[in-house]
């Protein structure tokens, strides 16, 4: 089966994203991942606070750091749905930088949906279907 294409979001490294080594810190990368994911969702009309009456929460985050990024580097976040089950959806993000697309990190974000009223896990909604069905533009 052919893998779906990636959807790309570009963000610049900000001063607040730097650590004591003067390069992108882990907390800065997590913040930028969240911002990029929100832009990815927004493009498809999805709001993680209300996905068909449920809220999307990060259950697990795995990051493989592959290179450094510095102030004003442009990071390219390439997102796609990696895997779905009845109750979770895992997104893959390849993060590269600048015009040469040097690798920075490879991340997997596993999300669950909780019903806004009962706070219980619900099965993947139709809201993520747009992401699952994405075949490029």
Q: What is the pTM of this model?
A: 0.89
**How distant, in Å, are the alpha carbons of 81, 86, 115, 117 from that of 121?**
19, 10, 6, 11
Q: Hunting for tokens 């979770």 — which residue is that?
A: 88
* 37 and 82 Cβ atoms separated by less than 8 Å: no
- Confidence at residue 125, expressed as pLDDT on a 0 to 100 scale: 65
Mean local confidence (pLDDT), 34-54: 91
**Looking at residues 5-32, what average pLDDT do you find?**
96
Q: Can you tell me the mean pLDDT for 39-60?
A: 91
CA distance 88 to 98: 32
Share of the chain above pLDDT 90, in %: 66
Tell me the percentage of the chain whose pLDDT exceeds 70.
93
Tell me, what's the pLDDT at 88?
Answer: 87
Average pLDDT over residues 41-57: 90
Instruction: List the chain domain ranges.
Output: 7-128
How confident is the model over 72-94, as a mean pLDDT?
92
Q: What is the pLDDT of residue 79?
A: 93
Give the Cβ contact number of residue 46 at 10 Å. 21
Residue from 133, 114, 102 nearest 57 by CA:
114
SS3 (DSSP) at 77? strand
For the segment 51-81, what is each residue's pLDDT rounded down to a tens digit?
Answer: 888 899 999 999 999 999 999 999 999 999 8
Instruction: Select the CATH number that applies to the domain covering 7-128 from these four: 3.40.1190.10, 3.90.420.10, 3.10.129.10, 3.40.50.720.
Output: 3.10.129.10
The 10s digit of each residue's pLDDT in 109-126 is 999 999 888 989 988 766
């Amino acid at each position: 089966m052919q893998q779906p294409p990636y959807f790309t979001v570009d963000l610049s490294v900000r001063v607040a994203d730097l650590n004591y080594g003067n390069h992108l810190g882990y907390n800065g990368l997590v913040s930028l991942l969240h911002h990029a994911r929100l832009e990815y969702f927004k493009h498809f009309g999805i709001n993680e606070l209300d996905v068909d009456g449920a809220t999307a929460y990060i259950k697990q985050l795995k990051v493989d750091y592959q290179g450094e990024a510095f102030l004003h580097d442009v990071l390219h976040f390439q997102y796609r749905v990696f895997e779905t089950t009845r109750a979770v959806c895992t997104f893959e993000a390849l993060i590269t930088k600048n015009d040469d697309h040097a690798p920075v990190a490879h991340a997997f974000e596993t999300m669950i949906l909780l019903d806004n009223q009962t706070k219980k896990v619900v099965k993947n909604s139709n809201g993520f279907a747009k992401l699952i069905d994405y075949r490029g533009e």
